[in-house]
Structure 1
Amino acid sequence: MKDVQNERDERNIPINKVGIRGLRIPIVVRDQSQQRQATIADVNMYVNLPHHYRGTHMSRFGEILHRYAHDLSLEHLESILTEMKQRFECEEAHIEISFPYFIMKSAPVSGMQSYMEYRCSVQASLGENLSLTMGVEVPIHSLCPCSKEISSYGAHNQRGIVRIQAQTKGFVWFEELISLAEKQASAPLFTILKRSDEKYITEKAYTNAKFVEDTARDIALALNRDERILWYHIEVENEESIHNHNAYACIMRNKTDED
């Protein structure tokens, strides 16, 4: 059959990224406590396309990914990208994977256990060298210091979301980044809480009031202390409970530029 994709293109314009987006597939990822966890991922895969090729062979992306979906470890991610470069005869290959990740958490007083959902992601690229960025989205509880200071009693609370992206030079568990984010909030969130737990969380948040800026800066300090983290991008967004807008803070730092 005629291979239309391999026809020569005379427009002389290379394409930086071409591939597939929004492929949903069951995968298995590494789990710190249970070793492995099955989940469902949304996957994007791209390669660069030289100017003389008209198109690329889209089916090859899925073929490569399905062979490794049983264990998307760091080693296998590099193997996927290497095979992409070989199969597509390209100089750069990219993969983006995002998925729900569940951690069993115990309530702070009752010890009641329940699964808490987080959104995790991995972005990997392979040109001359491998670049790997891991990400987490962590829901948190925040209490406003200003509201606490000016009110005779009580203070307004909000649900927040922490997003961390980090490039590392050593292995880092998703659980480590999730725990780091929760520790810098006014209080963490849980799926199931008994009354004794609700009292504890409410009082903990009240004694640990934080602006969105406080949370972002405290997370940055914790990431600065971790020598495995080379670069990070932090976003903290609080869904305000008494304002018709969200509060937002962002911190970016490339630690390798300072060496």
Structure 2
Amino acid sequence: MHTHENTVRLMPDVASQAQPHLAGALDWVGMDGIEVPVLFDAGDGSVQRSSAQVGAFVNLTRPDKRGIHMSRLYLLVDEYLSTRPVDPSVLESLLRGFLESHKELADRARISIRFDQLVRRAALRSSNSGWRAYPVSIEAHLCKDGFRLEVGTEVVYSSTCPASAALSRQLIQDQFAKDFDAGKPLDRAAVLAWLGSEKGIVATPHAQRSVARLLVRFHDGAPLNLIHLLDCVEQVLGTPVQTAVKREDEQAFALANGSNLMFCEDAARRIQRALDADDSIADFHVRLEHQESLHPHDAVAYASKGVTDGYGNRRG
């Protein structure tokens, strides 16, 4: 007859074993690329579930401790982000949970969340609409100085070069002078026909797909209104890329490009002025990239509300 005893087998925990020869405090320790669903209201009152990649970190202040409790960070991320819509209060509570789970090990915590937010966009002229996926990055920090949160996203748009447009107009003028004798009266019907022919557009300005990368810090208490931010930037640029497009929409897009000629400097200043005027935004950093069709390199401009160094990086 065998007696079975209920015993708990102790599992080895090598992370708790100090290594004096490798002692030292660490800036950040944690995990990146955690796969988790997140709930987010982009500002239209509709909470959307998205697949996210999350980074969760604390610092390690104890030189004598070999590591942190990564499983605790993971479980807190899962508990908070998969069940509650992301907002500043939820993220601050989550980071406080990070520190509470690492008492005497850490005094700073941070989290990064990366996902795509689908926003429905109406066509320019027709009654159609379609979806745009905007990349969203949320970075939150908690330390003795308090809680800080920044939101990043991107706006993709078309930019038509003003210099190229001027050169194209000059060539069209030259072609007009060749095709219509200065000594003869102009025939309106002939001119209209000429303008509608390929001869009437012997040159076209170059345009390119362009990207505005935004990093924004909202004032304390302000909602994370992503759609308002996107609308603001797309409206001042005038030529955001489109979704559903019929002929009338494409023509309207061509008209918008012709009415919004811009260098990357122009685009940067437009966005800078618009975000400066937004009372909900405490600080911002913008990188404009015009992916040139003329050159193999890009034209780039930076703009910021705060002080920047000579490379466009914010100080502080």
TM-score (norm 2): 0.77
How much does 1:130 deviate? 0.4
Return the alpha-carbon distance in structure 1 between the equivalents of residues 86 and 304 of structure 2: 27
Of the three residues 26, 31, 38, the one matched with 1:20 is 31
| Partner SS state of residue 98, structure 2 | helix
Partner of 2:87: 73
Of the three residues 159, 162, 165, the one matched with 2:209 is 159
How much does 1:150 deviate? 1.4
Return the alpha-carbon distance in structure 2 between the equivalents of residues 18 and 238 of structure 1: 37
How much does 1:9 deviate? 4.2
1:179 equivalent to 2:231? Answer yes
| Partner SS state of residue 69, structure 2 | coil
Return the alpha-carbon distance in structure 1 between the equivalents of residues 17 and 142 of structure 2: 26
Partner of 2:200: none
How much does 1:34 deviate? 4.5
Per-residue displacement from partner, 1:23-52 (whole Å, max 9, x unpaired)? 122211113225201111111111001222
| Stretches of structure 1 lacking an aligned partner (at least 5 in a row) | none
Q: How many residues align?
A: 256
| Partner SS state of residue 171, structure 1 | coil
Partner of 2:5: none
| Partner SS state of residue 245, structure 1 | coil
One-letter amino acid of the counterpart of residue 109, structure 1: R
Partner of 1:3: 13
| Partner SS state of residue 37, structure 2 | strand
Partner of 1:195: 247
Per-residue displacement from partner, 1:70-90 (whole Å, max 9, x unpaired)? 222222111110100110222
One-letter amino acid of the counterpart of residue 167, structure 2: I
Return the alpha-carbon distance in structure 1 between the equivalents of residues 44 and 283 of structure 2: 26
TM-score (norm 1): 0.93
Question: Where has structure 1 moved over 3 Å in runs of 4 or more?
Answer: none
Query: Radius of gyration: which is bigger?
Result: 2
1:120 equivalent to 2:136? Answer yes
1:137 equivalent to 2:158? Answer no
The question of whether the paired residues in 2 share the 8 Å contact of 1:119 and 1:138 is answered with no
How much does 1:252 deviate? 2.4
Return the alpha-carbon distance in structure 1 between the equivalents of residues 16 and 258 of structure 2: 64
Return the alpha-carbon distance in structure 2 between the equivalents of residues 55 and 140 of structure 1: 46
Partner of 1:249: 301
Higher mean displacement: 207-216 or 71-80 = 71-80
Return the alpha-carbon distance in structure 1 between the equivalents of residues 165 and 253 of structure 2: 16
| Partner SS state of residue 267, structure 2 | helix
| Partner SS state of residue 294, structure 2 | coil
| Stretches of structure 2 lacking an aligned partner (at least 5 in a row) | 1-10, 170-202, 308-316
Of the three residues 54, 58, 71, the one matched with 1:43 is 54
One-letter amino acid of the counterpart of residue 252, structure 1: S
One-letter amino acid of the counterpart of residue 53, structure 1: K
Question: How large is the RMSD of aligned CA atoms in angstroms?
Answer: 1.7
Per-residue displacement from partner, 1:172-214 (whole Å, max 9, x unpaired)? 4111221122123241111211110000011111111011111
Identity score, percent: 29
The question of whether the paired residues in 2 share the 8 Å contact of 1:56 and 1:88 is answered with yes
One-letter amino acid of the counterpart of residue 228, structure 2: E
Partner of 2:98: 84
| Partner SS state of residue 180, structure 1 | helix
